[in-house]
Amino acid sequence: MAQKNTLKKTPISVFFPCYNDAGSIGILVEDADRILQTITNNYEIIVVDDGSQDESRRLLLRLSKKTRKLRLIFHKKNLGYGGALKSGFDNSKKKYVFYTDGDGQYDVKEITKLVGEMRDGVDVIQGYKLKRYDPWYRIVIGRLYHYFSKILFNLKVRDVDCDFRLIKKSALAAITLEYNSGVICVELVKKLQDKGFKFKEVGVNHYPRLHGHSQFFNYRRILKTIFELVELRLKLWVST
């Protein structure tokens, strides 16, 4: 009972980066609102719309009229995935910050698995995909990306590409994130790891994408990502 009462007082910010996710973002917000009411009395939901060109903004504005805890952040132009994450981190006001993608490939209700691992001495609760449900080529590229990043940065987590994370706001305040691309995920984990923050890993389900399409999987973006990973590695070497 004491644990339950403690959790009811735990302040949590939940945010979703959104880019042309009209088919899924509304359900994510509604699911988050329902599940957070069972976890804590002190929460907020934020959607960072990164210059969507579909119906996302109109849908979110309608949703904000009936979802009291929802705050909306609209980027005037698309800043990239990392830009959306930085806005979410900067605008989150609670002690713990959770985020996952707006495309619906993770079930936000599984935040309960992460919250259940909250305890003293743990700063980051990192999800990992129990099984990846993507086309075969995305799975292959994803595995190559994971191992390349893991070796290059000596990452300790088993799935750096799993954007299902619960992080103490104080840990986020201790690092500076620079990248506006998907490289921010490696940057985030590496900088938190190097600062000595403690990770706990939890398996979560991954689902096929039902709406929209990935912005990452084209040759130009993949080459840019490789360049930025090497650039990040050099920057971190110089700074140490």
What tens digit of pLDDT does each residue of 106-127 get?
999 999 999 999 888 999 999 9
Name every residue whose Cβ is closer than 8 Å to that of residue 136 and which is 6 or more positions away in sequence. none
Question: Longest C-alpha distance within the chain, in Å?
Answer: 53
Name every residue whose Cβ is closer than 8 Å to that of residue 73 and which is 6 or more positions away in sequence. 46, 47, 48, 49, 87, 88, 91
Distances (CA, A) of 65 to 8, 43, 58, 214: 25, 17, 11, 29
Q: Is 75:87 a contact under the CB 8 Å cutoff?
A: yes
Q: Kindly tell me if the per-residue pLDDT of 207 is higher than 60.
A: yes
Task: Read off the pLDDT band of 64 (50, 70, 90).
Answer: very high
Task: Read off the pLDDT band of 138 (50, 70, 90).
Answer: confident
**Joined tokens for residue 89:** 């981190």
Residue 6 pLDDT: 52
Residue 173 pLDDT: 98
Q: In whole angstroms, what is the distance from residue 42 CA to residue 94 CA?
A: 8
Task: Read off the pLDDT band of 234 (50, 70, 90).
Answer: very high
Mean pLDDT of the chain: 90
Q: Kindly tell me if the per-residue pLDDT of 156 is higher than 80.
A: yes
Sequence spans of domains, the chain? 2-239
Q: What is the mean predicted confidence (pLDDT) over 162-186? A: 96
**Token match 């609102």: residue?**
33
Q: Nearest to residue 103, comparing CAs of 217, 218, 209?
A: 209
Q: Kindly tell me if the per-residue pLDDT of 53 is higher than 70.
A: yes
Residue 142 pLDDT: 77
Residue 159 pLDDT: 94
What is 2-239's CATH superfamily? Spore Coat Polysaccharide Biosynthesis Protein SpsA; Chain A (3.90.550.10)
Burial profile 164-198: b = 16 or more Cβ within 10 angstroms, e = fewer: bbbbbbebbeeeebebbbbbbbbbbbbbbbeeebe
Q: Kindly tell me if the per-residue pLDDT of 132 is higher than 90.
A: no
Q: Nearest to residue 47, comparing CAs of 76, 84, 10?
A: 84
Name every residue whose Cβ is closer than 8 Å to that of residue 160 and which is 6 or more positions away in sequence. 146, 149, 150, 185, 186, 189
Q: Kindly tell me if the per-residue pLDDT of 137 is higher than 80.
A: no
Q: Kindly tell me if the per-residue pLDDT of 224 is higher than 90.
A: no
> How many C-beta neighbours within 10 Å does residue 88 have?
21
